[in-house]
Structure 1
Amino acid sequence: MIKFDFFLNTNKMAKRFSITYIFTGLLGVIFLDKFIKIYLENNSISLNSIFTFNIFFIISTGIIIYLTINHMQKVIKNVEEAYNDLKEKDRLAPYEFALDHSVDEIHWFTLEGKFIYVNESTCKKDGYTKEEFENMYLEDIDPNFTRQTSPICMNEIKNTPNWRIESTHRRKDGSVYPVEVSGHAFTYNGKEYICAFARDMTQRIKNRNKITTMNEELQKSLKEKEILLKEIHHRVKNNMEIISSLLNMQAYKSDDKKFKDSMKESRSKIHAMALVHEFLYLGENLAYINVNEYIEKLLEDIKELYISQNTHITIDLNLDVMEFSINRCIQVGMLLHELCVNALKYAFKEDRDNLLCVHMKLIEDKIHIKIRDNGDGLKNINSLEKSDSIGMQLVHSIVDFQLHGTIEFKNNKGLECNIIFPKKEIK
């Protein structure tokens, strides 16, 4: 009903209808008039003649009506088709606008790789017109494909979700530029097609190459700085060893045993700090040290320096795997050095089995260090809190003011020291 009203309300269709009706009617009247004249000239009027005339009139009028209606049906059909085409174009207009103004190149292919549609961006990039593309195939703009491999590529796109490759396109003038292409299959009017999106990668590759060059330069600069830092740590360690040698020479020239022992302890402390720098320049990481390996090496060096061959000692080493910064490693190293040296000097004897326990555990956000020997212990534990020895003052100073932790001494089948401090370094 809507389409018929549309037809009746159209001026052009009304003119066509009127002209067709008048033309058909005039032809019918002329033909009927001729027929009546011929009939009257050859026949007299009778009832049978009137009956025959009426039948002829009805037949001729029916023919006129049939021709008129048949013509109008064709007109209405044409109007409907034109209306549907116009409506379809109006519906697709926004999509065509979006496709033509897309930055990416958009191509529609048959499964044989023949172009059936390209947008304006494709024409501008490749230099061909849309009419030229109608007779072109994929290999005409992509030198990486041939007439044999193009259908293979189309079927691969059809059977691969999120298909994507990096390729090249060749312009009409012969120049080539890199593209990233993604593709999907779709069905339209019962036929399968491929829709491909190509994006120019020229600027992206320039940026990628620029970033790669910058990264290479940064890596080179970083490597140079790592070598320089390792060299600095190596020289610091060597300088500490020189100081240690100087102290050893001073001790060698003196006959005072107390002085010799003091020089020996100073050398040992210096060695504990030099060992940190040695681990830094020999290791892979210049910021952190594997504290487990450092403590093992530190205890071996202390044992070699203070224990005679006649003294048997077992070291119970139980350490969680941790990494310390250079500052914390020196702090913990000085603590262990002082407390272990005291155990080796005062708790162990040659005529029995000696045991030194060094445990370091990470419990929640706290680090727990336990150092215990199997000596005779101390009768007055509180004396360690008020000791005026340089070693004990150093221990308390490191725990209180550098590690921000607590320290406790107690007798437990020997002397036991427990130190607890936060895992996170407080600056």
Structure 2
Amino acid sequence: MSSMKKHLFNNKNIPVKFSIFYLITGVIGIISIDRFFNIYFTYGQTNNNSFFNFLFLFLFFSVLILFIILNHMQKVISKIDKSYKDLKEKDKERLMPYEFALNNSVDGIYWFTIDAKIVYINDAACKMLGYEKEELLGKYLEVMDINFNRQTAIEIMHKIKNTENWILETSQRKKNGEIFPVEVSGHGFTYGNQDYICAFGRDISQRQEINKKFKDMNIELQKSLDEKEILLKEIHHRVKNNMEIISSLLAMQLRRAKDDEVKYILKQSKSRINTMALVHEFLYLGENLAYINLQDYIKRLVQDIKELYISQNTKLKVDLHIDKLIFSTNRCIQIGMVIHELCVNALKYAFKEDRENLLCIHMKKIGDKIHVKIRDNGEGLKDINCLYKSESIGMQLIHSIVEDQLDAIIEFRNNNGLECNIIFSKDEEE
């Protein structure tokens, strides 16, 4: 019975079935009334009870049919309403996490139609702008963004739609009229055959304040740094000047000295002071107050030594090959002093006026080591070991700097003249 009822009132065919059922009932009713009137007019009279019985039955069946139709429609409507409520509840449960995420986002989230009408706005955006949702839904972009009018708002929507990863810094206006900076990013999407724009807005007032503070701090730090650089340059300049004064005093003493040995000692002292003063000159004239390009320093140093020690009659060729190396002030002074002493020794003992003289100075970076080679083309030494035991100020200074300060290895040997090889670490100790 249940299956027959279910089949009889199948929702898909019920309009057709009710129409046919009502049509059959109507035809039967019309035939019955027609028979009744034929009898009435044929016999001229009829039984009153029969007439009322017929009307009563017709009314009863009509009401019954109407009740069945309305009752079924009510059940169908109730079922549809229940299904709609269940679906709505399921959708609500399914969308609840997304709605929570949207409303609790730090960024304001807006959905616009392609003509810049607001169709969705989250709680964060409302809080940021000071509006209720109902006050903004259906309004246009220019209500909250002072940089757009009706035409430019539509243009920017099309630009967002056609631009990947669109982003803009703009200004928005709160309900109370306050203007604040906003960073907005947007993306276009299509839903239900209609184009929409989803935009994310973030209040960057705090970021701009922090950036301004950092900018002001950087200006102050740069100002302080510039002042310190000027001060350091001035210090290096004064140190250089003081050393030049000492060098000038030694030069005066040199001119008055009569003993050749005293003259040589004064000349060496003057040359050593110039070697150190040259470092401060490079620091004063250079852009970096902590490090010096060793190529330029050694080239200038050798030139100064030549001018001080070599006479115009002595022919000297300098073979200078130095890798590009950057060292601190102390390291440059250490290397400069060692090269100075070795070059002066070569100029004093190896070179002569009546021949071609050659001085080779090579510095190469090999791995984490610096290899220094200084060679002359003199006659060399018969007893190389004497250089390791010499009590001269120059050799003692060389060994002191090489062993104690550079922590290096030094080796002397004869190689078509005297050759000195020094190896030390590229990295400087703190």
Shorter chain as denominator, the TM-score bin is 0.7 to 0.9
State yes or no: 1:269 paired with 2:278. Answer: no
TM-score, structure 2 as length reference: 0.85
**2:144 match:** 141
Aligned to 1:412: 415
Match of 1:208 among 207, 211, 221: 211
Identity score, percent: 58
1:413 Cα offset (Å): 0.6
Q: For residues 244-323 of structure 1, what are the structure 2 equivalents within 5 Å?
A: 244-323=247-326
SS at match of 2:79: helix
Alpha-carbon deviations, 1:251-274, whole Å to 9, x = none? 222211111111001000000000
Which amino acid counterpart does residue 309 of structure 1 have in structure 2? Q
When structure 1 is superposed on structure 2, of 197-206 and 100-109 the one drifting more is 100-109
Distance 2:177 2:388 in 1: 88
3-state DSSP class of the match of 1:385?
helix
Give distance in 2, aligned partners of 1:98 and 1:108.
15
Secondary structure at the residue paired with 2:352? coil
Q: Which residue does the alignment assign to 2:220?
A: 217
Q: Does 1:155 align with 2:158?
A: yes
Which residue number corresponds to residue 368 of structure 1?
A: 371
Opposite residue 249 of structure 2, the aligned amino acid is L
The alignment's C-alpha RMSD in Å is: 2.8
- Provide the rounded CA distance (Å) in 1 between the counterparts of 2:135 and 2:337: 83
- Establish whether residue 340 from structure 1 lines up as the match of residue 343 from structure 2: yes
Asked if the contact 1:373/1:415 (under 8 Å) is kept, the reply is yes
- For residues 48 and 149 of structure 2, the distance between their equivalents in structure 1, rounded to whole angstroms, comes to 88
Q: Does 1:89 align with 2:95?
A: no
Name the CA distance, whole Å, in 1 between partners of 2:345 and 2:416: 16
Deviations 1:64-101 (A, max 9, x none): 43443233222222222232223222322333233223
For the residue of structure 2 that corresponds to 1:148, the secondary structure is helix
In the alignment, the residues of structure 1 paired with residue 174 and residue 63 of structure 2 have an alpha-carbon distance, to the nearest angstrom, of 69
The separation in 2 between residues aligned to 1:126 and 1:137, in whole angstroms, is 14
Structure 1: runs of 5 or more not aligned: 1-27
TM-score by length of 1: 0.85
Cα distance in 1 for partners of 2:248, 2:155 equals: 78
Letter in 1 for 2:269: S
Residue 60 of structure 1 deviates from its aligned partner by: 7.4
CA distance in 1, matches of 2:246, 2:274: 10
Describe the SS at the equivalent of 2:150. Answer: coil
- Distance in 2 of aligned mates of 1:147 and 1:45: 81
Preserved contact between residue 403 and residue 426 of structure 1 (Cα < 8 Å):
no
What is the CA-CA distance between 1:61 and the residue it aligns to? 5.4
CA distance in 2, matches of 1:94, 1:264: 88
1:98 corresponds to 2:107: no
Equivalent in the alignment of 2:426: 423
- Please tell me the residue identity of whatever aligns with 2:387: L
> Match for 1:382 among 380, 385, 390?
385
- Does residue 350 in structure 1 map to residue 353 in structure 2? yes
Task: Give the aligned residue type for 1:212.
Answer: K
Alpha-carbon distance change, 140 to 305 in structure 1, aligned in 2, over 3 angstroms:
same
1:392 to 395, 406, 415: 395
Counterpart Cα distance in 1 of 2:117 and 2:95: 23
Deviation at 1:57, TM superposition (A): 8.5
How far apart, in 1, do the equivalents of 2:180 and 2:428 lie?
Answer: 54
How many residues are paired up? 390
| CA distance 1:301–1:170, change in 2 (3 Å) | same
Instruction: After TM superposition, give the deviation of residue 292 of structure 1 in Å.
Output: 0.4
Partner residue of 1:243 out of 243, 246, 251: 246
Q: Give 1:200 shift.
A: 0.8
1:44 CA drift (Å): 10
Structure 2 distance, partners of 1:319, 1:238, is: 28
Higher deviation after alignment, 218-227 or 129-138: 129-138
Could you tell me how far 1:59 is from its partner in structure 2?
8.3
In structure 1, what residue type is equivalent to 2:215?
Answer: T
Tell me by how many angstroms 1:134 deviates.
2.2
**Separation in 1, partners of 2:220, 2:66:** 95
Q: Distance in 2 between matches of 1:59 and 1:125?
A: 65
Worse-superposed segment, 137-146 or 269-278: 137-146
Moved more, 62-71 or 299-308: 62-71
Structure 2 unaligned spans of 5+: 1-24, 40-44
Question: Which of 108, 112, 115 is equivalent to 2:115?
Answer: 112
